[in-house]
Structure 1
């Protein structure tokens, strides 16, 4: 029965992602904004809802390790395997605005996280914490990001007004497609995580290892399926916007909300993972500057990087 649930979960993920991308791209046309902006907002925030749920619930239950580890692990997965597989399917075009603003904003958010958890190194504290005040700092950064997105959307609408007015959009149908797709993605991801965890435990894997691998990957499945589907449909702006937007959302909103709810104690091991996340973001920025395209070679390098990281955390734990 567990294997059947696993298959049902994957089916929901695949079909849900198909509906989600199709509906979101049509909504972008109707709103007279670029698909990139839809990827950075509606798609990114929607596909990050599993991370938000897991981390906020973990904060409520005083499980800081899960709250922080889930976000950092998911972001590493997004940068490496999400981008890597999507680029292997279809080279991802990178808008110059993405290079100048969104990817560097992800880098700034990641560096801010490293600084805010470095209480021991910077202040001589006995342990590192993400305090409530740190959470409000993240919330402020998130508000700035949203303001920037709205300004870009307003400018984008003015540029595309003449073209978009000629296109009729079925708002009801596409809104339903988008919402139904998102629900299927989230529910499918939950089924996959639950059944895969049961299968892994039955084979003797420890709960800690399952959490670092299956659960971290499982909460990132919506981003993966959405980006892969977008790449297949040659909607590279949605594919990349989804990943960049999700990473920003995970750090600023998810960790911000989690630490405001309950201050999060920081495990010293997570520092390595955060530094790796920063380095991978820099690599993504460098790859993005290569002919404004993330090609198959870059995609293969990123995918291999995740496999190497996975081997490392299995050995480490």
Structure 2
């Protein structure tokens, strides 16, 4: 039964992402803003809902390890696998604003998180600073959306009610499908004797990132690379600033030495992604393949650690 429900979860993810992307792209056309803005905000926060649910609930339950490892693991997956697979499927030219603003900001925020982790904890005050950063970022994105209204490219536009229905229904299917996949994958992994620590850093992190993966792949196949890359980078910023910030405000988080190492590796992957995106102003298929292979190597490292 677990295998059947796992399959149902994947189907909900794929079809939900299809509707979600179509509704989001249509909303960008209606609002007359670039789809990358929608990707960095509405789509990024929507597809990060599973991470928010897992980490905040873990913080409430006092499970600090899961709250931190879920976010760090998901961000590594987003940067290396989500963007890597999209580039491998179809090389793309990153949006100029993402290169100049969001990718450097992602590196800066990850570096700040590394510094916060060095003392072995993430305090309520540090969590509040992260939440403040999220408010400032969202405020700037709203300002940017208003400023760039004339740059919006409509594409295929649905009616506003239908667009919102596609977004809400698609997101619900994506989140429910993601939860189903995570739950059943954890049961199957436990039956095979895999440790809880490994499950938290891989299966839960990957499972909660499936919405980002499927949504970005669907967006790339529809030719909307701006929404795809914006979704991945926006999700990473949201995961650190809001999810870890909120989790720490709820309950100060104890940081393991292994989590510090993983966060340093996350910083390295963010820098590498930025370098790949800047070389030739294009993410090539070979660079995408390199990202995915690096994630495979990281998973092997977790397995033997």
TM class, shorter-length:
over 0.9
- Write the deviation string for residues 13-59 of structure 1: whole angstroms up to 9, x where unpaired: 01001101111000000011000000000000000011111110111
Report what 1:138 is aligned to.
130
Report what 1:112 is aligned to.
112
Report what 1:44 is aligned to.
44
Alpha-carbon separation, structure 1, partners of 2:59 and 2:26: 36
The structural deviation recorded for 1:168 is: 6.0
Q: Tell me, which stretches of 5 or more residues in structure 2 are unaligned?
A: none
Report what 1:31 is aligned to.
31
Alpha-carbon separation, structure 2, partners of 1:17 and 1:36: 16
The structural deviation recorded for 1:159 is: 4.2
- CA distance 1:114–1:87, change in 2 (3 Å): same
2:287 to 298, 301, 308: 298
Report what 2:180 is aligned to.
191
Report what 1:204 is aligned to.
193
Report what 1:284 is aligned to.
273
Query: Is the CA contact 2:26–2:157 (under 8 Å) kept in the aligned structure 1?
Result: no
- CA distance 1:48–1:292, change in 2 (3 Å): same
The structural deviation recorded for 1:174 is: 1.2
Report what 1:122 is aligned to.
none
Report what 1:171 is aligned to.
160
The structural deviation recorded for 1:95 is: 1.4
Query: Is the CA contact 2:27–2:157 (under 8 Å) kept in the aligned structure 1?
Result: no
The structural deviation recorded for 1:271 is: 1.1
Alpha-carbon separation, structure 1, partners of 2:156 and 2:126: 45
Matched, 1:17 2:9: no
Report what 2:72 is aligned to.
72
The structural deviation recorded for 1:63 is: 1.0
Q: Tell me, which stretches of 5 or more residues in structure 1 are unaligned?
A: 120-127
Alpha-carbon separation, structure 2, partners of 1:50 and 1:314: 24
Report what 2:298 is aligned to.
309
- CA distance 1:300–1:167, change in 2 (3 Å): closer
TM-score, scaled relative to structure 1 = 0.93
Matched, 1:248 2:237: yes
Q: Secondary structure at the match of 2:304?
A: helix
Alpha-carbon separation, structure 1, partners of 2:247 and 2:105: 21
The structural deviation recorded for 1:234 is: 1.1
Report what 1:124 is aligned to.
none
Report what 2:59 is aligned to.
59
Instruction: Name which one, 1 or 2, has greater alpha-carbon Rg.
Output: 1
- CA distance 1:169–1:10, change in 2 (3 Å): closer
The structural deviation recorded for 1:151 is: 1.5
- Write the deviation string for residues 202-226 of structure 1: whole angstroms up to 9, x where unpaired: 2222222222221111011000000
Alpha-carbon separation, structure 2, partners of 1:141 and 1:202: 41
Report what 1:123 is aligned to.
none
Alpha-carbon separation, structure 1, partners of 2:268 and 2:198: 24
Alpha-carbon separation, structure 2, partners of 1:255 and 1:298: 30
The structural deviation recorded for 1:297 is: 0.7
Q: Secondary structure at the match of 2:279?
A: coil
Query: Is the CA contact 1:95–1:292 (under 8 Å) kept in the aligned structure 2?
Result: no
Report what 2:101 is aligned to.
101
TM-score, scaled relative to structure 2 = 0.97
Number of residue pairs the alignment of both structures matches: 305
Query: Is the CA contact 1:86–1:231 (under 8 Å) kept in the aligned structure 2?
Result: yes
Query: Is the CA contact 1:32–1:157 (under 8 Å) kept in the aligned structure 2?
Result: yes
Alpha-carbon separation, structure 1, partners of 2:197 and 2:115: 26
Alpha-carbon separation, structure 1, partners of 2:163 and 2:156: 14
